[in-house]
A and B are shown apart, each in its own frame.
Chain A
């Protein structure tokens, strides 16, 4: 099992460009999440999907959109990138265990110039 995979691993964008971050999990988990991690800010939830077909905003959703393509895949789209979106992005998934323990991907390091 690969667990949670993310592509790409690194990306450099210019202000105003768009891109989609891809995430897939092979653990048959219902819930999937997108976080961003910035120095001194910890992990902040952007969007999450509690189950296939549903998505909800997290703490910092502005400037992002998501698609839960199927049970395995959850993508994050930046329509018009801004320097403030320079960050490390993590995708995570969790099953139906009572504690919603999360399994993280390796991250995408995004720089917007």
Chain B
């Protein structure tokens, strides 16, 4: 069973602060995805990273895939209350169409 460990589990910060959260595994993934989930809704895909070392930017969010394709990080610059939510990472092994999800990081950005 491939496990994805996300850290920290909970994060509460002030608007304007920067933060970095992590998604780690001992397994190699062919791709890794990040989703954001708001209360009462389903997860929404933010980004997919495929190549080791790849960096993708989505406005103030920067995603990086580790060189060995076992881990990923999400950096948010100047966090805003609209960034509040549950951030999930999910890895694909390539063996089938199933994703392995981490347990998520609950982010709260205070105005």
Q: Which residues of A contact B (CB under 8 A)?
A: 4, 31, 33, 35, 40-45, 48, 50, 58, 90, 92, 94, 98-107
Main secondary structure of the interface of B (DSSP, over half): loop
Closest to B103 in A: A42
Contact B98 A102 (CB under 8 A): no
Closest to A6 in B: B42
Pick the most buried of B31, B41, B99: most chain A CB atoms within 10 A of its CB.
B99
Contact A107 B42 (CB under 8 A): yes
Per-residue A-contact encoding for B30-68, CB less than 8 Å = 1, 0 else = 110100000011111100101000000000000000000
Per-residue A-contact encoding for B96-111, CB less than 8 Å = 1, 0 else = 1111011110000000
B41 contacts across to A, CB distance below 8 A = 106-107
Contact B97 A99 (CB under 8 A): no
In the bound complex, CA of A43 to CA of B44 (Å): 13
B101 contacts across to A, CB distance below 8 A = 35, 42-44
